[in-house]
A and B are shown apart, each in its own frame.
Chain A
């Protein structure tokens, strides 16, 4: 992640990175708290040394392939909230995205 941020900072000719926003879905397999801890060590010596890491947890949502209804779900219960069918497709909840970075130029 920091490599991607560094590339953007370099491309934009920024002196430092103030804020990094990432989106994490519960089904991405990444634990936001652990990422925060790792980040405090990994950012040392980069342009993001003083950056704040903001993690936005995305909701788990499914689309029912039977009745067509979209509903919220839990990570280990991806059933349709309307008809209860298990034949659903995940529409959100497995993201692991670098959403935005906030930079300072001089």
Chain B
């Protein structure tokens, strides 16, 4: 689907606009109107606005997605420890109920805005827009958005982020990518977290996870990391820094 120009015309639906006119009358005098409009167009419009906002402030925005308990907050804490001397980092936290994760981030001396979603199982572009009013974008280089722990819905909503990172912890099944193709296919980097536990688990094989990802035509990096032992952290941090320098190089002039 073409999300760039909004035309939304694909091989699958092209015939609809080629056969017959835009307005066709049916036998009982109803009017049929071809639309071909993305059902998430309102969200995507807001997301594009958020992205412009990030770019105007020279901020790289990264959306972290995973199931609950796979270690997103822990990874962020460790990432902040390593990078906070060199980069100004901010976090938007999405959670169903508590403010616990935002507090953990603030304890690291980094601004964190909590979005409590209540019953909503994902963040959307409008929620991020609200949170941006409380986010000191002028003072940031890097903004992490910690999405609600869920492997299904978050993948369908563009927030205006530049990059998606999907976490898969070794305490989950190594076939998760095959079960949740949408969220893993969207990833710019997959982190296999809690790798320090691998010696204790004989039913998670990182190679199997890699194969399941490859079957999704996934072509981006896969890194085994442990925020506890620091295994793989260098690889993850190097990738982050490369993305940051690339973003700075292509950034439009600040208005």
Contacts and interface: CB of A to CB of B under 8 A. Distances in A.
Partners in one complex: yes
Interface of A: 1, 3-4, 8, 12, 14, 18-19, 22-23, 25, 27-30, 58-59, 61-62, 75-79, 86-105
A77 B179 CA distance: 11
Contact of A90 (B183, B215, B217): B217
B31 A102 contact: yes
Contacts of A25: 1, 12
Central interface residue in B12, B30, B153, B181, by most chain A CB within 10 Å = B12
B214 A86 contact: yes
Contacts, number: 123
A79 B218 CA distance: 10
Contacts of A59: 12
B31 A88 contact: no
Interface string B147-173: 000001101100000000000000000
Contacts of A89: 217
Interface residues of B, number: 39
B30 A103 contact: yes
A99 B13 contact: yes
B36 A99 contact: yes
Interface stretch (B39-47, B51-59, B234-242): B39-47
A92 B11 contact: yes
A100 B41 contact: no
Nearest to B179: A76
A94 B215 contact: no
Nearest to B40: A96
Contact of A29 (B1, B8, B182, B216): B182
20 contacts: A4-B41, A12-B33, A19-B30, A23-B13, A29-B182, A61-B12, A75-B181, A76-B215, A78-B217, A86-B218, A90-B217, A94-B182, A95-B8, A96-B1, A96-B38, A97-B35, A99-B35, A101-B32, A101-B33, A102-B26
A98 B35 CA distance: 6
B124 to A, nearest CB: 13
B33 A95 contact: no
A91 B12 CA distance: 8
Given A8-B35, A29-B182, A97-B13, A18 B30 contact: yes
Given A23-B12, A92-B10, A105-B31, A76 B36 contact: no
A29 B35 contact: no
A3 B42 contact: yes
Contacts of A28: 156, 182
